[in-house]
């Protein structure tokens, strides 16, 4: 079983998408899969297309950007479409969309965009997961506590990914009060601003 873990984040380091893929990597390796990585920042269409063509399952992990896919990932996928469409494809593709909003279902649109790409590229859509509260996913273990539901969703993805079986789109958030996530997020933004020499009021700056 060849699994391609495809990073759709524009960040080169420390992205939630890459963290989730590393978690999936461990789970797939434990199941005996051969795992390879790709990313949407790679401009080489040949590399990306070939990686998809040799895979049985592909998981695309990405952050929700302006309610959709990041532009560089959209470009990458569109660039691959024609080459993929020209021959029969064996890969089943799953989406894993994390969003900063608390509600995982806000990723539904992004999953639908990925599904359409699969249809137009001759790939099989396997379903996906929309993860809410993306801002805290790097801070919680994903196998117990607040992250337990997310860990379970990832396990189901791996279980089905190993058999190229489809999953129902699943939307999940950490088991954590939404209001506390909101306060924690705001505190996080204030802290980041402070590191950059900005006070709280500075973050609200209007330019017009």
Partner 1 sequence: MNKTLWIHDLTKENAASFFDTLSAEDKVIDGNDVKKHCIGCFGCWTRTPGCCVITDCWENIPKSVAGAEKVVIVSRLVYGSYSPTVKRVLDRAIGYILPFFRIVNNEMHHQMRYDKPFELTVHFYGESILDREKDIALKLVRANGVNMGTGEPEVFFHRSFNEIKEALI
Query: Which residues of this protein are in contact with partner 1, per CB under 8 A?
Result: 9-11, 15, 63, 65-72, 74-75, 77-78, 101-103, 106, 108-109, 112-114, 116-117, 120, 178, 182, 185-186, 189, 192-193, 195-196, 198, 202-208
Q: Tell me phi and psi for residue 71, to 5 degrees.
A: -60, -35
CB of 46 to partner 1, least distance (A): 19
CB of 110 to partner 1, least distance (A): 9
Compare residues 28 and 65 and give the one whose CB is closer to partner 1: 65
Compare residues 28 and 101 and give the one whose CB is closer to partner 1: 101
Sheet of 57-63, strands arranged across: 34-39, 2-7, 57-63, 92-98, 124-131, 170-172
Total Cβ atoms within 10 A of residue 9: 25
Compare residues 16 and 57 and give the one whose CB is closer to partner 1: 16
- Of the candidates 97, 53, 43, 98, the residue with the CA atom closest to the CA atom of residue 75: 43
- Of the candidates 102, 156, 91, 101, the residue with the CA atom closest to the CA atom of residue 129: 156
Compare residues 22 and 191 and give the one whose CB is closer to partner 1: 191
CB 116 within 8 A of CB 150: no
CB of 181 to partner 1, least distance (A): 8
CB of 47 to partner 1, least distance (A): 18
Spatial distance between the Cα atoms of 123 and 117, rounded to a whole number of angstroms? 8
């Amino acid at each position: 079983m060849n699994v391609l873990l495809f990073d759709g984040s524009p960040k080169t380091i420390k992205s939630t998408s890459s963290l989730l893929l590393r978690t999936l990597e461990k789970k797939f390796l434990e199941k005996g899969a051969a795992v390879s990585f790709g990313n949407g920042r790679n401009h080489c269409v040949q590399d990306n297309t070939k990686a998809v063509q040799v895979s049985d399952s592909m998981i695309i992990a990405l952050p929700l950007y302006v309610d959709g896919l990041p532009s560089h990932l959209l470009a990458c996928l569109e660039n691959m479409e024609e080459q993929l469409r020209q021959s029969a494809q064996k890969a089943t593709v799953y989406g894993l969309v994390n969003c900063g909003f608390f509600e995982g279902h806000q990723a539904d649109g992004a999953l639908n965009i990925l599904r359409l790409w699969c249809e137009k590229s001759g790939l099989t859509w396997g379903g996906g997961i929309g993860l809410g509260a993306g801002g805290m996913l790097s801070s919680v273990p994903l196998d117990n506590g607040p992250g337990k539901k997310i860990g379970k969703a990832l396990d189901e993805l791996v279980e089905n990914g190993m058999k190229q079986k489809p999953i129902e789109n699943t939307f999940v958030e950490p088991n954590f009060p939404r209001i506390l996530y909101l306060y924690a997020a705001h505190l996080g933004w204030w802290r980041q601003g402070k590191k950059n020499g900005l006070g709280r009021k500075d973050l609200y700056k209007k330019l017009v």
